[in-house]
Structure 1
Amino acid sequence: MRLGGFLFILVLALGLSFIPVKSGASQDPKAFFAARGQFGALLFFLLAAGETYSIGSVLGFPGGIAATGSIDVALWFIGYILLAFPIGMLLYPRLWQVGQKYGAITLPDLLGGYFESRLVASLTGCLLVVLMLPLGTMQFMGLSAVFSQLALPLPTCVLSACAAVLAFLFVASAGLRGAAWAAALKDISVLGAILCVALVALTQWSHGSAVPLADVLHGASTTPGASCVMILSTIIVQALGFCIAPQTAAAIFSARSSETIRRAQIWMPLYMVLFPLLFVVAAYGLTHHA
C-alpha cells in the first residue's frame, strides 16, 4: 500500500512534468530555464512557494522544536520567512526589471550582464552550485528516510542513484515549467499530509499520559537578552539570504511582469498556515513519550 501510493505520486509528478513537451513547447534556453517569462501570478506563486517549503521546513521546523524543546526555533523560523515576504515584494520586481534589461534568464546572467563580465557570470554560477550542495544533501537525506520506510530490498547507494536519475528526468523533461507543475502536486500532497498528521495528533492528545507543554517547552538560553539578540539577528540574516537563495531567485525570470511578482507575493503568507500544524505535531512529540 505504502509503495503503491509512493509510485502513484511519482508517476503523476513525472507525467505533469512532461505535459509541456507533449504540447510542443520549444526547448530553447529561455523556455527551459525561465519558461519564456510567461508565468502568470498563479504559476509563479506555485513555483516560488514550492521552492520555499521543502524538507527544511517540513522536517526541520517540528524536528528542531521536538529535539531541543526550545520555543526559540519557532520564533526565528517563522520570523525570517514572514520578513522575507515584504523584502521579496520590493526586491524581486527590481531584479526582474534588471534581468529584462540584460536579457537574463538566470542569476549568473544578470550579474554578468550588469558588470559586463563573463568571468563574473562564471564565478557566480560556480558559487551557486556550491551553495546548493547543502540543500541537495538534505533532499537526498529526506529521500533516504522515505526509502527506508518503504523497506525496499536494495542498497541505499542504489536507491540514491535512482533518485538522482529521477531528479535529472524532472529537470530535463520540461525545465522550469515542469518544476512548477510538480511543485503544485507536491504542495497539495505536503499540506494534505501535514493536516492529516496534525488532526490525528489532536484527536489522540488525551490518550495515554501526556506531560504538560509548559514543562517541556522553554527558551534555548537562560539569559533572555542573548536569546533575543540571536533570534533577531537570525531573522534578519536569514530573511535577506532567503530572498537571494539560488532556488528562490531562479523563479523570478519566469514571471510575465514585475506586477505579476507583486500580486503573487501578496498571497505568499497563506502558506504560513502549515506552521501551526507543524507546531501541533512537534508539541505532541514533546508531550507524549512512547
Structure 2
Amino acid sequence: MDENVNMKLKQQSKQAENRGRLLVKCPDKPGIVSLVSTFLYNHKANIIESSQYSSDPENGTFFIRIEFQCENLIEQAVQIEKDFVEVARKHSMDYHFAFGNERKRSAIFVSKEPHCLMELLWEWQNGDLETDVVVVISNHEEARDMVESLGIPFHYIPANKDIRKQVEAEQIRLMEEYNVDLLILARYMQILTPDFVSHFPNQIINIHHSFLPAFIGARPYERAYGRGVKLIGATSHYVTNDLDEGPIIEQDIERVDHRDSVIDLKKIGSRIERRVLAKAVKWHLENRVIVEGNKTIVFH
C-alpha cells in the first residue's frame, strides 16, 4: 500500500477509536429519543450528531441515527451492547451499533469503464471513505496497473453467462478470503444470480447508468437520445434479485438538450454516475442508511 495512504488510514483509525454509532428502528411512541439519549448519557457518551424520522407520528415506525463519542470506547463497547439488549427488548427495537475501530472491508467489481472505480479510489486515497479497499475484481484487464500501483490486489476473472456459476463460486471464495463487508459494483456489467446475491444481503451497492425506472437494460444513452430526453441521471441502489429495482440510496440528474449527442450524454452521465455512487458508498459506510422494505431511510 502507498505510504501516504497508509499514514492517512492510521490517522483515521486513531481518530475513530472513541466514536460510535447507533441505528434504531422501532414502533413510534413518545420518549424514544429521551430513552436512547439517557442510555448513552449513563454510559458517559457524548452525542455529537442525531437524526430521526417517523413514518407516521400516530401509529408508525420511528427511525433514529445517533453518533456519539465515549472515552475508552473500545474497552466499553461490549458492555454497552450488552446493556442495550434489555432496552431494545422492552421497546421492540431493531438496532445496530457500529464502532469506529471496526473499519469495513470493501471489494470493488469493475468491467471496462474505469470512471467509477477511479472516483472511489480517489475518495479512498483522500480519506473520505471509511473503508479498506481490499480487492478489485474485473472481467477485463484494463484496470490492473492502476489498481496494483496502489497496492490493492487485482483479480481478473473472465465472465459470461455460460460460466456464470463457476465465476460466482470463485468470487464468493475471494469475498470470504478477503473477509469483505461491502461489494461495490463500479460499472460491473454482469448480471448477478440470486444465489450470489443471497450471500450478501444489503451488502452490494450498484450504480445504474440512466435514471431509474427509465431505460432499464442495455444501451440506455442511445435510447434516451432517441427519445429526446431533457434530463439524464444515475441511480445507486442495493442489489436484490429484481434487476435494477433494489432499495435506492441516491439519485441525481443533469439537464440536457437537442444539441447534446449520444457521446455528450455519456460524458455527462459518467460524471453523474461517479458522484452518485461515491455518495451512496460513503453514506453506507457511515451507517447513514436504514433499509425499510424496498426503500431506504438515509440520514445525510
Q: Note whether the superposition's TM-score is higher than 0.5.
A: no
Task: Please indicate the TM-score interval, normalised by the length of the shorter structure.
Answer: under 0.3
TM-score (structure 2 length as normaliser):
0.22
Larger RCO: Structure 1 or Structure 2 (Cα < 8 Å, ≥ 6 residues apart)?
1
Return the structure number with greater helix share.
Answer: 1
